[in-house]
Amino acid sequence: MTVFLRRGCGAALAYVFATQGAFADLTAADVWADWQAYLGGMGYNVSGDQSVSGNVTTITNMAMAMSVPDTDGTFEVTVPEMTLTENGDGTVNIDFPDSFPMTISGESEGEAFSADLLYTEDAMEMVVSGSPDEMTYDYSANSMGFALDSIETGDETISQDMLNLNVQMNDIAGSSQMKIGELRDLAQQFTADSLTYDIAFNEPDSEDTGRFNGKLDQLTFEGDSLIPLELDPGNIEDIYDAGFAASGTFTYASGNTEIAGTAEGEAFSLSSSSEGGAFTGSIDAQRLVYDLTQNSTKLAVTTADLPFPIEIAMANAGLKFELPVQASDEVQPFGFGLNLTDFTMSDVLWSIFDPAAALPRDPATIALDATGTAKVLTDFMDPEAVEELELSDAAPGELHSLKINELLISLVGAQLTGNGDFAFDNSNTEAFDGMPAPSGIANLKLVGANALLDKLIGMGFVSENDALGARMMMGLMAVPGEEPDTLNSRIEFTEDGQILANGQRIK
């Protein structure tokens, strides 16, 4: 390769990289134009007075207003002044005022109403980088929050003395990346040292009062969204049909809540704490997924009716489900799970119904994990379809299969475990009183049932005759296992409508 060619190629490469950097540079006008497009596409009416001085663009009297879906109300945010400063390196700084108002107003049942909120932030820093079609927002702040200023309904003003609301996050850092194509692809991450909340009310015409406050520590969030470039917030179904989808995971390291007040002249209080938890959720035009877990939960309740606190605790609590939400002629999968692990309550509470400690006080556990398939007959994203369903006797869908992957109930010395797998014939609803006819097998194992019955007889909770009937039923439905006080049961539903228990026909 000649010296000329080497130098020429080197210059060309340098030019390519230089021009890519130049093309990636952002201007204040780029950022402001995208804000207007993004917020306008979300259904806001955006306005503001723009002025430019050197590398600083100032937006004054910025207003964002949007109709609240399914109401005659309006949500409006007013920012007195926002500045966008070009830094000379292809990035733009955005500066907000320390506070600005947010208002919800409208009419309900013939009376006008309005609620004023105040947004506040301390030491907010935000830098935008990238290109007009792919912007990244990096931000941090000492704090961000909002507080209720006042509420007016008709001629009545509800002041902060009557109703108070404060929510604040502290020591925040985050990043949002937005790619613009056929949809807006938004990826977000943030952390916060803590989230505090405080809600209090005091009814002037009664003695009822209440206060709800708490804190979450070490918050994190990571999520992704696909947002149509133009959407109508009042038409939820069209939003999802246009491609809207969102998913995210929120975690925290610990939390506590305190509730106290007076109802009908009697005081009450509640306190709870946990050692962290997580929430994962996602939604699109086809499915809704929800998964919530909480660790080492403790709860204490005090009321005027009891001279001692009610105290309970759980090592872990969880709830999850995955549901199809769109009507379809196709069968779609679903799932459901529940987990309450190592549930305990105080000896004081036990002593109310078991003063002699006859029952084992081992931690109790309930767990269920089920999956299946169903045909959805209602578009749950369509408000009109949901309203019609509520007013009719129609079924929202058809159950086609159900698989119990895990069943565990363990408490007061007895334990029930099992699994099952069933199919359902929706063309036959006569054999089981309107329910689709099932076919399949359930396997169950019960340990400690007879010992529990003996204890309940001794405590006077169960009579000898009732216990005898229960034992006869267990003898009909189950067979003894290899271990003492163990019963096994195999329940089979056949396609011709029979029910068999351990091979013996019972229906």
**DSSP-derived 3-state class of residue 207:** coil
What is the DSSP track for 407-454? EEEEETTEEEEEEEEEEEETT--TTBTTBPEEEEEEEEEEESHHHHHH
d(CA 359, CA 484): 19
Using DSSP bridges, classify how beta strands 74-86 and 245-252 pair: parallel, antiparallel or unpaired. Answer: unpaired
Residue 23 has pLDDT above 90, yes or no: no
Please give the pLDDT value at position 16.
34
Sequence ranges of the domains in the chain: 1-121+143-158
Residue 70 has pLDDT above 70, yes or no: no
Please give the pLDDT value at position 362.
93
Please give the pLDDT value at position 283.
94
Q: Residue for token digits 């926002």?
A: 82
d(CA 468, CA 247): 53
d(CA 448, CA 483): 10
Residue 188 has pLDDT above 50, yes or no: yes
Residue 247 has pLDDT above 90, yes or no: yes
Please give the pLDDT value at position 205.
75
pLDDT tens digits for range 142-160 = 999 999 988 888 788 887 7
Please give the pLDDT value at position 17.
34
pLDDT (average), residues 29-47: 91
What is the pTM for the complete model shown? 0.86
Q: Which distant-in-sequence residues (6+ apart) come within 8 Å of 325 by Cβ?
A: 283, 285, 286, 287, 288, 376, 379, 380, 381
What is the amino acid identity at position 43? G
Residue 222 has pLDDT above 50, yes or no: yes
Mean pLDDT is lowest, of 11-20, 79-88, 130-139, 167-176, for 11-20
More confident residue, 152 or 252: 252
- Under a CB-based contact definition with an 8 Å cutoff, are residues 131 and 24 in contact? yes
pLDDT (average), residues 190-205: 91
**What's the angle, vertex CA 56, arms to CA 54 and CA 62, rounded to 5?**
140
pLDDT (average), residues 85-99: 96
d(CA 280, CA 350): 35
pLDDT tens digits for range 353-399 = 889 999 999 999 999 999 999 999 988 887 788 888 888 888 889 99
Please give the pLDDT value at position 352.
86
What is the DSSP track for 94-128? EE--SEEEEEEEEEETTEEEEEEEEEEEES-EEEE
d(CA 459, CA 457): 5
Residue 203 has pLDDT above 90, yes or no: no
